Amino acid sequence: MNEQFQLNELKEQPVLSVRTRTPVANLPQEIGKAYGAIAAYLEELGEAPADAPFTAYYNMDMEDLDVEMGFPVSKPLPSRDNIHASIIPAGKQASCMYKGAYTQIGSAYEALGAWVTEQGLETIGISYEYYYNAPGEVPDEELLTKIVFLLK
């Protein structure tokens, strides 16, 4: 695997998102539902995403994932129903780009985790995935995902 690891200090990023708990088997449907609802709401507001859609993982319990799915936005926007105005917090982040099927992404997580440890850094236990394309748009082996670990 040819990851290129990066360490960045980022500013707080406003987002519109939906947070839920779900088994991993239902994750694709939950992501699709959340992105669709948020995209429709952004259109109603006359706004557009400021970056690629993301999913934040607050745990790694595959039977009961605590996930937040959303879009970065250019400014704070109002919440509505289950769509919440939130932020990706400012701070240090370690990241890498992964190209390939989602089913094989675990090796990129392991490599990034090992690199973070080698640098003498520590995660806070929250990771983000930013999706630069989607299944159905490109073959699985062409999927581009940025993996981000928030650091202490």
Question: How many domains does one find in the chain?
Answer: 1
The answer to whether 1 and 107 have CB atoms below 8 angstroms apart is: yes
d(CA 143, CA 116): 24
pLDDT of residue 2: 46
1 assigned to some structural domain: no
106 in a structural domain:
yes
CATH of the domain at 101: 3.20.80.10
Residue 105 belongs to some domain of the structure: yes
Furthest CA-CA distance within the chain: 46
pLDDT in tens, the chain (152 residues): 445 999 999 999 999 999 999 999 999 999 999 999 999 999 999 999 999 999 999 999 999 999 999 999 999 999 999 999 999 999 999 999 999 999 999 999 999 999 999 999 999 999 999 999 999 999 999 999 999 999 99
Q: Are the C-beta atoms of 65 and 23 separated by less than 8 Å?
A: yes
Burial class (CB in 10 A: 0-12, 13-18, 19+), 20: middle
| Domain coverage including residue 144 | 6-151
